[in-house]
Amino acid sequence: MQIDKVLIATTNKGKLKEFKQLLSNIGIEVLSLEDMKEKIDVEENKKTFLENAIKKAKEYAKFYKIPVIAEDAGLEVEELGRYPGVYSARFYDIEFGGKEPVKDNKDKANINKLLRLLEGKENRKARFVSVIVFYNPEDFGIWAEGYCKGKIAKKPVGEGGFGYDPIFIPEGYKKTMAQLTSEEKNKISHRGKAVRKLISILKKIITA
């Protein structure tokens, strides 16, 4: 079977940049939501990363009638019972741990809230999770997941990446994810791992 193009259905510019890098060598045209004339809103209201990713992939694929890759990702912090988890994008705005005012932007408010909740805590273990779903509206869907273990820094450092990267120190490193180059991040990141698994499955399907 043949797949000529795929739509990366994300509204997050940081994620889109990484997906484009990770999918640059697979010989399939990669489109983003900016290439689509009509816009739709897909609500993320499920309890797990997988359910949210499936919902996004299916709704976009059915609307645009092309194959889609969608992701639900987030940060799980051991001390907080795996919060922010599926609420990572809007952690600042949920009741858990008290709401955090947005001064500069949402990413910074999320980081401030997390650092506040971990103040004085010994256990700062955390992991990033990525669940990605490829959905072909005509035939089938497949999914893959990736994890990146690490710990939460005491304060934000670094300008690269996005989201929680300035406070996430990957296992085996002495710097934050935001201090890595994009190549370094892609090699070890939850998203990099999930995308590489998905590509290996897709290659088998495409050549079958």
Residues in touch with ligand ITT (CB under 6 A): 10-12, 15, 44, 71-75, 88-89, 107, 110, 128, 161-165, 189, 191
- Distance in Å, CB of 162 to ligand ITT, minimum: 5
- Distance in Å, CB of 107 to ligand ITT, minimum: 6
Residue whose Cβ sits closest to ligand ITT = 163
Catalytic site residue 72? yes
Contacts of 104 by beta carbon, 8 Å cutoff, 6+ apart: none
- Distance in Å, CB of 207 to ligand ITT, minimum: 29
The residue among 15 and 82 lying less far from ligand ITT, judged by its C-beta, is: 15
Distances, alpha carbon 85 to alpha carbons 23, 60, 117, 130, 133, in Å: 25, 23, 15, 11, 18
Are 122 and 145 in contact, with CB atoms under 8 Å apart?
no
The residue among 137 and 158 lying less far from ligand ITT, judged by its C-beta, is: 158
The residue among 66 and 180 lying less far from ligand ITT, judged by its C-beta, is: 180
Rg, the chain, Cα only? 17
Q: What is the DSSP string of 20-76?
A: HHHTTTSSSEEEEGGG-SS--------SSHHHHHHHHHHHHHHHHTS-EEEEEEEEE
Q: Retrieve residue 57's tokens.
A: 């992939």
- Distance in Å, CB of 53 to ligand ITT, minimum: 8
Which position among 4, 72, 93, 107 bears the catalytic label?
Answer: 72
135 phi and psi, to 5 degrees? -130, 120
The residue among 127 and 202 lying less far from ligand ITT, judged by its C-beta, is: 127
Catalytic residues: 72
